[in-house]
Chains A and B, each alone.
Chain A
Amino acid sequence: MKVNTDIGIKLENPFMLASGILDENGYTMERILNNGASSAVTKSIGMEERRGFDPPVIYHDENYVINAVGLSNPGIDNFGEEIKIALRSGKPVIGSIFGRDAEEFSLLARKMESYSVSAIELNLSCPHVKGYGMEVGSDPDLVSEIVSEVKSKVSIPVFSKLSPNTSDIVEEAKAAEKSDALVLINTIKAMKIDIYARKPVLSNVYGGLSGASIKPVGVRYVYEIKKELNKKIIGVGGIENVNDAIEYIMAGASAVQIGSAVYKYGIGIFNKLNNDLNEFFIKNNINDIEDIIGVALK
């Protein structure tokens, strides 16, 4: 039975840790990689140390999480040590980066490469910080320039994480076509008002919606993009169990990322997903993950 997969880098299983979840401290990434995750995508790192927003930065309910952490990060020059700690696991680490323009993205990508990450994930889609993420990602010319520029500066694979907060994600995906893989989807711009306090809960007012409630949206984007472009896709958004993961894989994802579900199930979710995937393959006579990637499109 073959559950290892290839997204431009080889992964021993399809379950990756998503960017922004438990991936700021090298020790945490190391622990998660030692407990069933095949790779970890780091928190998005920028040029300078950045404090991010004041709390509340997260609101959660049974079926969703809304966050506006605000791209807090220690800055690229301070992040090498964390990656070094995470790499003691022997598993691949993927460096997520955010910048204002192609030049910043290229510089960040080269620094990440020098820290021995296995691939770069371009955060072209954070929905809640001015001048970054979604504001960059919704300009197809800029996306195309960033991807080309970064591709020309590093020798490791480059993934583009795209935003569902756009009128035409196909256009966005086409602009990022030179990437080795597309990561779909980032969070969906959202907010929460407390009806007793009569105020928005998040200090930034707007945040990004994740968790179980966005899974059908994510599956649709993976399916739609896989149909339009024959690119490797990494699926992310609301995956809480193996059935969710298989749905994404059948829609066209070669691997999936797990994020918000960690708040419900803890980091033990990775070992559970691996066990449940094996069981699903046995019960359904599947020998190779390749046989089900994008099978719903056929």
Chain B
Amino acid sequence: MKHAYIIDNITEGKNVNTVVFSTDDEIKPGQFIMAWAPGINEIPLSFSYINKIKKITVKIYGEASEYIAHLKRGDYLYYSGPYGKPFTIVPGKKLLIGAGTGIAPLIPLIDDNTYGIISGKTADDIIFERYFNNRLKVVTDDGSYGMNGYVTTALKTLDLNEFDMLYVCGPEIMLKTVYDYIKNMDINAQFSLERSMKCGIGLCDSCSINGYQVCTDGPVFSIEQLKNMDEFGRTRLQYSGKRIYF
């Protein structure tokens, strides 16, 4: 178990905080850590900033995320990792597509030829607009901010053939929506998946999809890989191991 000194804590939005810390770990975009809230739980979290200073952006949804989101300067972040296969970075024009805090692990990919889509249920879910210099579409389910609609509403306003790579992160249902929209369009895309994860080291089979482990074979999968995975957007294992349909 590693530990890192917390330098700062930034409030990004409603129930979303970024904890800032320093480690020598070399992190590539899309990789994650298993962050430990001692005596509470352990959760996978990915990086929103990956230079010498590291940032992790946490949405509070349970006790462990609450503990980590509230770490303050002087506290320690306990973690293991980094884990997982990162995004493959290609030259050219990029489109980053994130649902809510799903935009966070895509932020390290931003360069001066990057465009973005951020989707959310409501205005409160939209964070990190500031990194996009207005090269961004925002869409919310309730229309309280940006366009009114879903991720496809925003996709329809863009000529996707202009982009050399799409990078997509969010709940699997949202990923599947994007996948279905582009699957017959000859577009390159990489998707970062999130499934019920326990061990982080490819042993427990909890996060698996068609025999591949999201924690070690992923979390990033190419559109070509996903074309051969009929579990994608269809079935997954619950925490107990019981197969359920999305």
Chain A residues near B205: list those with CB within 8 A: 21-25, 28, 43
A160 within 8 Å of B by Cβ? no
Q: Cβ of A262 and Cβ of B203 under 8 Å apart? A: yes
What does the 1/0 interface line of B68-105 toward A look like (CB < 8 Å)?
00000000101010000000000000000000000000
What separation, in Å, do the CA atoms of A74 and B238 have in the docked complex?
8
Closest B residue to A33 using CB positions: B211
In whole angstroms, how far apart are the Cα atoms of A59 and B204 in the complex?
Answer: 12
Task: Find out whether the CB atom of A201 lies under 8 angstroms from the CB atom of B41.
Answer: no
- B178 within 8 A of partner (CB): no
Q: Which residues of A contact B216 (CB under 8 A)?
A: 266
**Candidates A27, A54, A72, A260; contact of B211 at CB < 8 Å:** A27
A57 to B80, alpha carbons, bound, how many Å?
13
Residues of B within 8 A of A203 (CB): 41-42
Within 8 A of B (CB), among A182-228: 194, 196-197, 199, 201, 203
In the complex the two chains form, is B78's CB within 8 Å of A196's CB?
A: yes
Residue B181 interfacial (CB < 8 Å): no
Q: How large is the interface on A (under 10, 10 to 19, 20 to 34, 35 or more residues)?
A: 35 or more
Is there contact, CB below 8 Å, between A55 and B34?
yes
The dominant DSSP class at the A interface is: loop
Bound: A209/B33 CA distance, A: 23
B239 at the A/B interface (Cβ < 8 Å)? Answer: yes
The answer, among A51, A57, A197, for a CB contact under 8 Å with B3, is A197
Bound together, the chains give a CA A24 to CA B1 distance in angstroms of 26
Q: In the complex, what residues of B have CB within 8 A of residue A43's CB?
A: 205, 241
A73 CA to B206 CA, complexed, in Å: 10
Chain B residues, CB < 8 A from A31: 210-212
Choose one: A21, A49, A54; the contact of B203 (CB below 8 Å): A21
Nearest-CB residue, chain B, relative to A55: B42
Stretch at the interface among B141-149, B156-164, B165-173, B194-202: B194-202
- Pick the contact of A51: B209, B212, B213, B239 (CB < 8 A): B239
Asked if B208 and A74 make an inter-chain contact with CB atoms under 8 angstroms apart, the answer reads no
The SS class assigned to the B binding surface is loop
Q: Which of A27, A50, A58, A78 contacts B198 (CB 8 A)?
A: A58
- Please give the distance in Å from A87's CB to the nearest CB on chain B: 14
Task: Tell me the minimal C-beta distance from B187 to chain A in angstroms.
Answer: 27
- The residues in A between 61 and 97 inclusive whose CB is less than 8 angstroms from any CB of B are 65, 67, 69, 72-75, 78, 81-82
Decide if A280 is an interface residue (CB 8 Å cutoff): no
**Do B38 and A194 touch across chains, with their CB atoms under 8 A apart?**
yes
> In chain B, what residue has the closest Cβ to A199?
B38
Q: How far is the CB of A17 from chain B (nearest CB, A)?
A: 11
- B48 to A: closest C-beta gap in Å: 22
Which chain A residues in 252-298 approach chain B with CB under 8 Å? 259-260, 262-263, 266
Least distance between B67 CB and chain A CB atoms (Å): 12
Q: Is A22 within 8 A of B242, CB to CB?
A: no
How far, in whole Å, are A26 and B218 apart by their CA atoms in the complex?
19
CA of A194 to CA of B80 in the docked complex: distance in angstroms? Answer: 12
CB pair A27 B203 closer than 8 Å: no
Minimal Cβ-Cβ distance residue in A for B207: A25
Q: Which residue of B lies closest to A45 (CB)?
A: B241
Interface assignment of A8: CB less than 8 Å from any CB of chain B: no
CB of A27 within 8 A of CB of B241, answer no
Q: Which residues of B contact A27 (CB under 8 A)?
A: 208-211, 231
Would you give the shortest CB distance from A44 to chain B, in whole angstroms? Answer: 11
Q: A22-B213, A25-B205, A196-B78 are in contact. Are A81 and B240 (CB under 8 A)?
A: no
Q: Does A153 contact B (CB under 8 A)?
A: no
- Given the interface contacts A30-B211, A55-B198, A58-B199, does A69 sit within 8 Å of B242 by beta carbon? no
Counting chain A CB atoms within 10 Å of each CB, the highest count among B39, B43, B201, B242 belongs to B242
B6 at interface, CB cutoff 8 A: no
- Contact assessment for A201 and B201 in the assembled complex, using a CB-CB cutoff below 8 Å: no
Give me 20 A-to-B residue pairs in the complex whose CB atoms sit less than 8 angstroms apart, sorted by A's number. A21-B204, A22-B208, A23-B205, A24-B206, A27-B210, A55-B34, A56-B41, A58-B200, A58-B203, A58-B204, A72-B239, A72-B240, A72-B241, A75-B240, A78-B242, A81-B243, A196-B78, A199-B38, A199-B39, A203-B41
Measured CB to CB, the residues of A under 8 A from B are: 21-25, 27-28, 30-32, 43, 49-52, 54-60, 65, 67, 69, 72-75, 78, 81-82, 194, 196-197, 199, 201, 203, 259-260, 262-263, 266
Cβ-closest 4 pairs across A and B: A31-B211, A74-B242, A55-B42, A24-B205
- Which residues of B are at the interface with A, using a C-beta cutoff of 8 A? 1, 3, 34, 36, 38-39, 41-43, 76, 78, 80, 198-206, 208-213, 216, 231, 237-243
